[in-house]
Structure 1
Amino acid sequence: MKSKGFTLIELVVVIIILGILAVAAAPKFLNISSDARIASLDGFVGAVKSANSIVMSKAVLAGVASAKVETNIPNTDLYVLDGSMSIKPEHIKAAMNVDGFMITDYPNNSTMLSTYVYLGDKILESQELRALNCFVQLSRSVGVGNIVNSELKVNKFYDGC
C-alpha cells in the first residue's frame, strides 16, 4: 500500500525549520520603524538644504544674501543671515513644509545658534529631547559681536530611534 502525504516527523521538522527562520527574521522586521524614523529625519535634512538653496537664490536677487544680521527678504516671510537661511524655528517653518516634525530651539549662552528637529507632536524640554536621542541639531557658530561665521552644521542623534 502506497501512502500519499507527509509523515508526522516530516511535518514536525518543517515546523521547526519555519520557527527558526521566524526567530532569525523577526529582529529585522521589528527594526523597520527605527529605519523609518531615521529616513524621515534624513529627508528633513535634505529638504532644509534644498530650501536653503532656494531661499539664498531669492536673497541674492534681493541683494541681501550676505547680510551680517538677520534680514528679511523683501515681500516674503523668509530670513537670511550671513549667506544662509536663518535657522530659527519660525523661519524654517516659513521656508518649507514641516508637517510631522517638531522644530524648537532652547535658550543657551553658548557660541552656537542651534535648532532641534524631531518627530512627534509634543513639545519636549531639552532634557527630554536628549533622553529621546532621536533628533537632528542644525547649528551655526557665532563669533565676536554675535556675528555668525560658519556654514550650517547638521548633527544627527539617532541612537534612540
Structure 2
Amino acid sequence: MKNQTGFTLIELVIVIIILGILSATAIPKFINLQSDAKKAVLDGFVGGFNSADSMVMSKATILGLKYSETVTPVGDTGVDIQYGHMTLTKENIEAAMHISGISLKFNPGSVKQSGSLMAYPGKEKSNLDLLIGKKCWVYITRDKSIPGEIDKAITAITEISITKNYSGC
C-alpha cells in the first residue's frame, strides 16, 4: 500500500481563497502609503527650508548683512539674502539645501512680493499641470513691507507664508 502525501485540490482552493481575502483587506492600506510618503517628503522640505533660512539669517547677522536691502551673497556659501532672509529662487534654495525627489518652480513676484517658490514631488511639471492636475505641492512666499505710499521704500521682508495643498497626493 502506498502512502500519498500532499494537499488535496479542495485544500489548495481554500488556501487561495483565504489569501485573496487577506490581500483584498490589506491592499488599500498599502496603496495609501505612496500618498503619505509624498506628504512626508513635502513636510520634510518645509522643515529643512525653515532650518536653512534660520542658519542663513544667523550667518548674515554675524557678517553684518542682516539688513541688506539688495540681494547680497553670504560669504562663499552660494546663498543670496535680502533683508536677512534667503531669497526665494530655485538656485538659491538648491545651494542652501540638498534636495532630491522634489522639483522647484520659481515665480519672481511683484513690487510687494519678494517672489515665491513652489515645491512638489517628482519631475518638472508645467504651471498648468500644477494648478489643474493633481494638486500636491507646497507654496512658499514672503511679502515685502512697504510702510507708506509716498516714499515706496521697502523696509523689511515679512515672515514666510507656507501654503500646503495635498489634495492630489
| Residues 90 and 42 of structure 1, relative CA distance in 2, 3 Å threshold | same
Cα deviation, 1:47-98, whole Å, max 9, x if unaligned, reads: 1111112211211110011223322223331212223222211111111112
Percent identity over the alignment? 41
Mapped contact 1:114–1:137 kept (Cα < 8 A): yes
Mapped contact 1:71–1:80 kept (Cα < 8 A): yes
Q: How does 1:12-161 map to 2 (within 5 A)?
A: 18-107=19-108, 109=110, 111-112=112-113, 113-122=115-124, 124-130=125-131, 131-144=133-146, 145=152, 147=154, 148-161=156-169
Q: CA deviation at 1:21?
A: 3.5
User: What is the alpha-carbon distance in structure 1 between the residues aligned to residue 8 and residue 123 of structure 2?
Assistant: 56
Structure 2, unpaired ranges of 5+: 1-6, 147-151
- Secondary structure of 1:104's match? strand
- Secondary structure of 2:157's match? coil
Richer in strand (by share): 2
User: What is the alpha-carbon distance in structure 2 between the residues aligned to residue 98 and residue 67 of structure 1?
Assistant: 27
Mapped contact 1:106–1:126 kept (Cα < 8 A): no
User: What is the alpha-carbon distance in structure 2 between the residues aligned to residue 41 and residue 135 of structure 1?
Assistant: 7
Mapped contact 2:102–2:120 kept (Cα < 8 A): yes
Over the residues paired in the alignment, what is the CA RMSD in angstroms? 2.7
User: What is the alpha-carbon distance in structure 2 between the residues aligned to residue 49 and residue 57 of structure 1?
Assistant: 12
Mapped contact 1:88–1:115 kept (Cα < 8 A): yes
Q: TM-score, normalization: structure 1?
A: 0.79
- Secondary structure of 1:151's match? coil
Of residues 17-26 and 131-140 in structure 1, the stretch that sits farther from structure 2 once superposed is 17-26
Please tell me the residue identity of whatever aligns with 1:105. Answer: F
Richer in helix (by share): 1
Structure 1's consecutive aligned runs of 4 or more residues displaced over 6 angstroms after TM superposition are: 6-14
Q: CA deviation at 1:20?
A: 3.5
Cα deviation, 1:29-53, whole Å, max 9, x if unaligned, reads: 1111111111111111111111112
User: What is the alpha-carbon distance in structure 2 between the residues aligned to residue 55 and residue 63 of structure 1?
Assistant: 12
Identify the residue that residue 3 of structure 1 maps to in structure 2.
none
| Residues 55 and 121 of structure 1, relative CA distance in 2, 3 Å threshold | same
Q: TM-score, normalization: structure 2?
A: 0.76
